[in-house]
A and B are shown apart, each in its own frame.
Chain A
């Protein structure tokens, strides 16, 4: 059974870079798309971006200039970097597997942007 686990700092200072990693266990990262989704406190879901196992990416237009998603097939991991963060980037960040829909999700990790 495939499981996803997000990891990374829970607190990031304004203007710095948010970095998260999603580790895939119980299955291979090969042949799937993998996504990052975030949810600000008390609000709805927002698509951040996705990556195919071969490295092809697609980002939300509203975040495109600040976001980078990468994949490491040798470690069965994919990662998110979001630079120049502000308080508006405070959210619960989920990683998920795409398979005609996001069918496997991590539990999510809370990232707070504050000095």
Chain B
């Protein structure tokens, strides 16, 4: 099973700042099958990025993903107030799908 470790656990920034979230895998994720989700309190997660770098439908271009192998990054170029939430990475290249433990992005 591929274990995903996200860092930092909590990231404190201000609107307008740039946010960089990391997701590291215990082994290489085949085909960059790495996905990012955003979850706000009381809501289901929302798909942001798939295949490590492709934005899902309707996702603003301030969200971008990068990386391959074992190291992946989600970048939010200019934080908007609605971006403060918890972010999860998830892989589907291994024998079983797994999530990272999440990064809380707080104001």
Q: Which residues of A contact B (CB under 8 A)?
A: 35, 37, 44-47, 50, 58-61, 94, 96, 98, 100-103, 105-108
Interface locus among B13-21, B22-30, B74-82, B91-99: B91-99
Besides A45-B45, A94-B44, A105-B45, 7 more A-B contacts (Cβ < 8 Å) are: A37-B99, A44-B86, A44-B99, A58-B96, A58-B97, A102-B37, A102-B90
Q: Which residues does chain A contribute within 8 Å of B57, judged by CB atoms?
A: 103
Interface membership of chain B positions 35-71, coded 1 if the CB is closer than 8 angstroms to chain A and 0 otherwise: 1010100001111011100101100000000000000
Q: Report the Cα distance A105→B45, complex, angstroms.
A: 7
Top 7 A-B residue pairs of the complex, sorted by shortest distance between their CB atoms:
A105-B44, A101-B50, A101-B35, A100-B50, A101-B47, A45-B99, A47-B97
